[in-house]
């Protein structure tokens, strides 16, 4: 099943990927159609095996769901466009605080920080 190929790519990549990136990767191993990638991804998201996050570029990014990890929160560099995970924020703690103080039951959350990473900041000064 092609699902396994898609799952494998996700498992072997530390950061999140777009459907197209996954498609390109899997295509090198098997013949596969982009819509199959999307369909499979949607299934995995439904089963809560994969997390989908839409970023400001309007593209969906996928990665393996990882219960106890804040790795899904990124700082995205405007220059090199790399996404760096941040663990500065304890999101679970924040979620509980919100629940306590506002009564709002958070089921999912998205954080997206845009800026310029240290590397690119350095380069721009040269």
Q: In angstroms, rounded to a whole number, what is the distance separating the alpha carbons of residues 29 and 6?
A: 11
Q: Which is nearer to DNA, 95 or 112 (CB)?
A: 112
Residues forming the site for its own copies (CB under 8 A) = 53-58, 75, 77-78, 84, 86, 88-89, 94-95, 97-98, 101-118, 121
Q: In angstroms, rounded to a whole number, what is the distance separating the alpha carbons of residues 58 and 118?
A: 25
The answer to whether residue 86 forms part of the interface with DNA (CB under 7 A) is no
Q: Which is nearer to its own copies, 32 or 75 (CB)?
A: 75
Q: Which is nearer to its own copies, 3 or 93 (CB)?
A: 93
Chosen from DNA, its own copies, none, partner binding at 101 (C-beta under 5 to 8 Å by type): its own copies
Q: How many CB atoms lie within 10 A of CB 25?
A: 19
Q: How far is CA 117 from CA 28, 93, 100, 121, in A?
A: 31, 26, 34, 6
Interface mask toward DNA for 87-106; x: CB under 7 A? --------------------
Q: In angstroms, rounded to a whole number, what is the distance separating the alpha carbons of residues 35 and 38?
A: 5
Q: How far is CA 86 from CA 19, 22, 111, 112, 113, in A?
A: 23, 23, 10, 10, 9
Query: At closest approach, how far in Å is the CB of 118 from DNA?
Result: 28
Which positions touch DNA (CB under 7 A)?
1-3, 18-20, 30-36, 38-42, 54, 58-60
């Amino acid at each position: 099943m092609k699902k396994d190929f898609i799952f494998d790519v996700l498992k072997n990549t530390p950061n999140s990927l777009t459907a197209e990136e996954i498609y390109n990767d899997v295509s090198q191993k098997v013949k596969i159609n982009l819509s199959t990638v999307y369909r499979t991804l949607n299934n995995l998201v439904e089963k809560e095996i994969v997390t989908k996050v839409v970023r400001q570029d309007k593209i969906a990014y996928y990665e393996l769901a990882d219960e106890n990890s804040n790795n899904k929160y990124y700082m995205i560099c405007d220059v090199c466009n790399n996404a760096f995970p941040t663990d500065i924020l304890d999101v679970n703690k924040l979620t509980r605080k919100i629940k306590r103080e506002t009564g709002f039951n958070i089921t999912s959350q998205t954080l997206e920080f845009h800026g310029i990473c240290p590397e690119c900041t350095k380069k721009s000064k040269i």
